[in-house]
Each structure stands twice: as structure tokens, then as C-alpha cells.
């Protein structure tokens, strides 16, 4: 009898560890049958499909694999229900079951075999309750006409916000060391203390704003572990990092570089998070259209990729990156523009960019056959006519070698007042020094030929000259990196 018991125990041990090196999740959804769903996961700002689930006639499907899943937040997505989905928390214990129905995935969810996953759904249901409560109050606020009653409703909304924060803190404390606690804690943003600034201080409001900015910047990641790779597989990591760089920080390349190095160091405790942070900065600041941010791209490229600290890229990538750096490096905003010489004038004489004596030089690269140039050059002519008596000159570089076509365009568009030049034999190498791969390209230089702006359109040029010469305010640049449609069916 004792031998039989030992045999049974051994078999039970083998069964319990059958999936220790893999995962098996039984999913039952009442209300569906004979259909498919996608088993996917978050990665930063995107969603990827891991596998296809086949639900049988009883609404049962098994998500399983021989290797363990990376921990994080996963999704079960139903194409037949207009991509309706529910999330699944995946921790180290990956052998459990879920049961729910199509009437309400979350509120009717039952979990067996994983307490943390059960707590995750309890948390989600509680957050739904908070959401419904706030939505009801918002509706009442919009409908209410009495100012005093509106104040009272607003106060109630603020109280709900406090309840939510308190609940987050309670969940994080109740489940210490878990992925759930990490996720919930990451939602808690720093609370700015009250700063006591005497009324006698000049610009009190401005000083208060500065203090708040520096406090938030310093404590923004207090509750988010940037070295935890599990958080990469949730929407939180990307949203917080992207918001920090694009909305919180002053949009100055030197500030971005300084703070970027800090975040990379914070993420360096894990190779995956380190790789993500470095790759995020290189990719975002290569694509961004905010002027001057290519300085950030150069810094990351040189300090992490070309220095040998990015072991995840191959020699082909590095070769292309090195070439890109070489082309961008000579024309960074704030640096002196490279001289262009010898450049041929329409009368056959030669000149150079540095010979232009002007407070501001509009440097434009254009092509007579370019459709955009045909629209832009007359606009630049109008801007020049507006500012030509205020120290502005135009150094117009024709990018083709056909002098007849070049001179014809100048005559037809009445551009004779420009300093019109051409480089028929590519002696100046302007394409390399100014990264010219399309036209038109417009730069604005100061009297010392330092780059004030680059790759701007005529409207931005006009606005910038109005600011520099007449002191008119410039509208701030805006860029929303989140306006992208997500592809739920993208395969891993």
C-alpha cells in the first residue's frame, strides 16, 4: 500500500510539472462555439498575435506551448465579435483555466489555478465600477445648469479620483512582489507637494510652475521599474516613456539627451529593457519632424550603436547608420553651416556661401522640374521681397546641371534678385553636407552662417523671420506620435 502511494505521488509530481517548461491555459467562453480567436500580447505601443485559438462546440479552447510565455499582459481577441477582447495576466504560473461568457467577459470571469490572475480580474472589475461612476457624474455635470451644483459634482469627481488612487495603493500593498502590483503601482503618478512661495517674490506663478515641473520630472518614474521587462508587455511602459519625452520634458535636444541617458541607465538593469529604451530613442528621434531633434538621434547613434554597446544589431545596420550619421552631422542646428564653394553664378562667375553678407541667409536647394519647387520658389520670392531691406538674402542652389533649364526658371519666376548658383561638376558636395535627397529644402542661417532652422516650409520660414526681425510670436510645434492604428493581426 505504501509503495502504491509513493507511485501515485510520483505520478502526481510528474503531472504537476508537465508544463513547468511551457504553458497551458484552458479558456471557456459560454455563448460562442466553433470559432477562432487570436491569442496576442502587448509590446510597447503595439499588439502582436502569438497564436490562433480554436474554440470547439462547447466554447472551449486551449492556449498551450512547450516554452513558457514571457510574462506580461496578453489578449484574447474575437474577430467574429468585431474584435471584442479581454486581457489575461501571464505570470510565472502558466497552467490555469479561465471561464466566462459573451455577456460580460470581465464581470463573469472565473479563474482556477492562479490567485494572481483572479486578483487581476477583480481589479479590472473594480476599475470598471469607478469608470461607470465617473461617467455618470460627467453626464450630470454636462446637463447641470446651476454653477453651484456643477461645483459640487466636480468635487464628487475629484473624490472618485482619490478613491481610485487609494485603491491602486491598496492593491499594490496587498500583492507585494507580483506583476499585478508592479502594473498597478506604475499607474500612480507623483503627487506634487504644495510649495510655499511668499507673495513678495516676483513672478511667483512662473516660479511655482518651474518648481512643479522639476518635481514631476524628478519623480516621474518613482513607481515604474524601467528595468522590469514584464512591463514592456503592457501598454504602460511605452505610454509613460513616450509621454515623458514628448509632453513632459522641455522640447530642447540638449534636455532630451541628458534625460535620455538617465532613463537608459535606469533601464540597463535588464538587457531587454535597455535594448528597448535605446532603440526607442534612436527610432523616435530619427522619425520625428520636430526641428533640431536629429541632434538626439546623433547622440544615441554615436554613444550606443556606433560605440559597440548595441549587440542586437548586425554589421549591415551599423554600416547604414554610420552613413546616416555622416550625412546629418554637418548640419545640426546651432552649428555653423558648411561652406559651399565653388558655386557658379548665372553670369559664369563663381562665389561661395560664406561670401554672402547678410543678417539672415535663406539657403534653398531646388530643382526646376520639381513640382513642389514650382510652388515653393514664388513663395520664397514673396518672403524675400518682404524682408530684403531688413538684412535678408537668398542663396538658391539649383540641384541639376542643365543651365538652360535653370536660367529659364529664374526668368519665368522673376528670381533674378536671388543669389542663384549651380554646381555642374559636384565640386561643393552639397548633397552630402546638407543631406539633400529631395527638393525643395530650406535652411535659415544667421549672420555668422550658423543654422537657425532647417527643412522648413515657406510658411515656417516667414513665421521665423517675423519672429527674428519683428518680434512676432511663433506657434509651438506639435507632433502626436500616438495617432497610429494598431494591427491586432500582425504575426510575431
Q: What is the pLDDT of residue 482?
A: 39
Q: For residue range 82-139, what is the model confidence (pLDDT) as tens digits?
A: 999 999 999 999 999 999 999 999 999 999 999 999 999 999 999 999 999 999 999 9
Q: What is the pLDDT of residue 107?
A: 97
Domain co-membership, 322 together with 304? yes
Domain co-membership, 285 together with 179? no
The alpha-helical segments, DSSP class H, found in 268-402 are 271-287, 294-300, 315-328, 371-387
**Contact (Cβ atoms closer than 8 angstroms) between residue 38 and residue 79:** yes
Question: How would DSSP label each residue in 255-273?
Answer: HHHHHHHHHHHHHTTSHHH
Does the pLDDT of residue 451 top 50, yes or no?
yes
Q: Which helix (H) or strand (E) holds 398?
A: strand 392-398
* Count of domains forming the chain: 4
Which residue, among 29, 26, 27, 24, has the nearest Cα to 108 in the 3D structure?
29
Does the pLDDT of residue 257 top 70, yes or no?
yes
How wide is the angle at C-alpha 408 spanned by C-alphas 403 and 414, nearest 5°?
125
Domain co-membership, 359 together with 445? yes
Among 331, 363, 382, residue at a domain's last position: 331
How wide is the angle at C-alpha 487 spanned by C-alphas 478 and 127, nearest 5°?
80
Supply the CATH number for residue 363's domain: 3.40.30.10
Domain co-membership, 303 together with 227? yes
Domain co-membership, 250 together with 355? no
Q: List, edge to edge, every strand of the sheet that includes 360-366.
A: 350-351, 343-345, 419-422, 392-398, 360-366, 441-445, 451-454
Does the pLDDT of residue 485 top 50, yes or no?
no
Confirm whether 482 is domain-assigned. no
Q: What is the pLDDT of residue 490?
A: 37
Confirm whether 490 is domain-assigned. no
Q: For residue range 398-407, what is the model confidence (pLDDT) as tens digits?
A: 999 999 999 9
Other residues' Cβ atoms within 10 Å of the Cβ of residue 367: 20
Q: For residue range 319-356, what is the model confidence (pLDDT) as tens digits?
A: 999 999 998 998 999 999 999 999 999 999 999 999 99
Confirm whether 489 is domain-assigned. no
Among 61, 91, 114, residue at a domain's last position: 114
Q: What is the pLDDT of residue 202?
A: 86
Q: What is the pLDDT of residue 476?
A: 58
Compute φ and ψ for 363, nearest 5 degrees.
-100, 115
CA distance 246 to 285: 11
The alpha-helical segments, DSSP class H, found in 329-448 are 371-387, 403-412, 430-433
Other residues' Cβ atoms within 10 Å of the Cβ of residue 255: 14
Q: For residue range 413-447, what is the model confidence (pLDDT) as tens digits?
A: 999 999 999 999 999 999 999 999 999 999 999 99
DSSP for residue 201: S
Supply the CATH number for residue 30's domain: 2.60.40.1120
What separation, in Å, do the N-terminal and C-terminal C-alpha atoms of the chain show?
51
Domain co-membership, 401 together with 366? yes
Torsion, CA 484, CA 489, CA 491, CA 492, rounded to 10: 60
Does the pLDDT of residue 56 top 50, yes or no?
yes
Residue 311 to residues 202, 318, 475, 492, Cα–Cα distance (Å): 52, 11, 41, 21
Domain co-membership, 352 together with 296? no
**Which domain covers residue 171, as residue numbers?**
123-148+156-186
Q: CB burial class (10 A; 0-12, 13-18, 19+) of residue 451?
A: buried
Confirm whether 17 is domain-assigned. no
Domain co-membership, 392 together with 461? yes
Residue 214 to residues 188, 193, 201, 224, 264, Cα–Cα distance (Å): 18, 12, 19, 18, 19
Domain co-membership, 287 together with 313? yes
Cell of 145: 445648469
Q: CB burial class (10 A; 0-12, 13-18, 19+) of residue 357?
A: exposed
Does the pLDDT of residue 489 top 60, yes or no?
no
Mean pLDDT of 369-374: 96
CA distance 403 to 459: 29
Confirm whether 4 is domain-assigned. no
Confirm whether 408 is domain-assigned. yes
Residue 394 to residues 5, 349, 364, 402, 461, Cα–Cα distance (Å): 94, 17, 7, 21, 12
Q: Work out the mean pLDDT of the chain and round it to a whole number.
A: 92
**Contact (Cβ atoms closer than 8 angstroms) between residue 88 and residue 109:** no
Domain co-membership, 162 together with 233? no
Domain co-membership, 351 together with 451? yes
Domain co-membership, 176 together with 130? yes
pTM given for the model: 0.84
More confidently predicted of 481 and 104: 104
Amino acid at each position: 500500500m505504501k509503495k502504491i502511494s509513493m507511485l501515485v505521488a510520483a505520478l502526481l509530481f510528474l503531472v504537476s510539472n508537465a508544463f513547468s517548461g511551457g504553458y497551458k491555459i484552458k479558456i471557456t467562453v459560454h455563448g460562442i462555439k466553433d470559432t477562432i480567436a487570436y491569442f496576442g500580447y502587448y509590446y510597447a505601443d503595439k499588439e502582436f498575435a502569438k497564436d490562433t485559438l480554436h474554440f470547439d462546440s462547447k466554447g472551449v479552447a486551449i492556449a498551450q506551448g512547450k516554452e513558457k510565455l514571457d510574462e506580461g499582459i496578453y489578449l484574447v481577441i474575437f474577430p467574429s465579435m468585431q474584435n471584442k477582447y479581454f486581457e489575461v495576466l501571464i505570470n510565472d504560473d502558466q497552467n490555469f483555466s479561465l471561464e466566462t461568457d459573451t455577456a460580460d467577459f470581465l464581470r463573469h470571469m472565473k479563474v482556477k489555478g492562479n490567485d494572481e490572475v483572479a486578483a487581476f480580474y477583480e481589479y479590472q472589475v473594480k476599475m470598471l465600477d469607478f469608470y461607470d461612476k465617473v461617467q455618470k457624474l460627467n453626464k450630470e455635470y454636462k446637463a447641470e445648469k446651476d454653477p453651484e451644483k456643477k461645483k459640487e459634482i466636480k468635487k464628487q469627481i475629484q473624490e472618485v479620483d482619490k478613491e481610485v488612487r487609494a485603491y491602486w495603493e491598496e492593491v499594490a500593498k496587498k500583492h507585494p512582489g507580483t506583476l499585478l502590483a508592479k502594473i498597478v503601482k506604475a499607474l500612480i503618478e507623483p503627487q506634487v507637494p504644495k510649495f510655499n512661495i511668499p507673495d513678495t517674490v516676483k513672478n511667483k506663478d512662473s516660479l511655482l510652475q518651474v518648481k512643479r515641473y522639476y518635481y514631476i520630472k524628478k519623480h516621474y518614474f518613482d513607481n515604474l521599474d524601467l528595468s522590469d521587462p514584464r512591463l514592456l508587455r503592457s501598454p504602460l511602459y511605452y505610454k509613460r516613456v513616450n509621454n515623458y519625452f514628448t509632453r513632459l520634458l522641455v522640447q530642447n535636444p540638449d534636455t532630451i539627451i541628458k534625460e535620455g541617458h538617465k532613463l537608459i541607465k535606469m533601464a540597463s538593469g535588464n538587457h531587454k529593457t535597455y535594448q528597448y529604451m535605446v532603440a526607442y530613442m534612436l527610432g523616435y528621434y530619427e522619425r520625428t519632424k520636430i526641428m533640431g531633434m536629429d541632434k538626439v538621434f546623433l547622440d544615441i547613434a554615436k554613444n550606443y550603436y556606433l560605440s559597440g554597446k548595441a549587440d542586437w544589431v548586425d554589421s549591415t545596420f551599423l554600416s547604414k547608420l554610420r552613413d546616416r550619421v555622416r550625412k546629418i552631422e554637418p548640419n545640426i542646428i546651432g552649428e555653423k553651416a558648411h561652406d559651399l564653394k565653388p558655386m557658379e553664378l548665372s553670369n559664369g562667375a563663381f562665389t561661395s556661401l560664406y561670401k554672402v553678407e547678410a543678417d539672415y541667409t535663406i539657403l534653398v536647394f531646388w530643382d526646376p522640374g520639381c513640382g513642389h519647387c514650382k510652388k515653393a520658389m514664388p513663395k520664397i520670392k514673396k518672403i524675400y521681397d518682404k524682408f530684403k531691406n531688413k538684412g535678408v538674402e537668398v542663396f538658391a542652389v539649383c540641384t541639376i546641371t542643365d543651365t538652360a533649364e535653370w536660367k529659364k526658371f529664374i526668368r519665368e519666376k522673376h528670381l533674378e534678385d536671388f543669389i542663384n548658383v549651380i554646381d555642374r561638376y559636384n565640386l561643393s558636395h552639397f548633397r552630402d553636407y546638407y543631406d539633400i535627397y529631395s527638393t525643395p529644402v530650406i535652411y535659415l542661417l544667421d549672420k555668422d552662417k550658423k543654422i537657425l532652422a532647417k527643412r522648413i516650409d515657406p510658411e515656417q520660414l516667414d513665421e521665423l523671420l517675423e519672429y527674428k526681425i519683428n518680434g512676432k510670436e511663433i506657434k509651438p510645434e506639435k507632433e502626436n506620435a500616438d495617432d497610429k492604428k494598431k494591427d491586432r493581426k500582425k504575426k510575431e
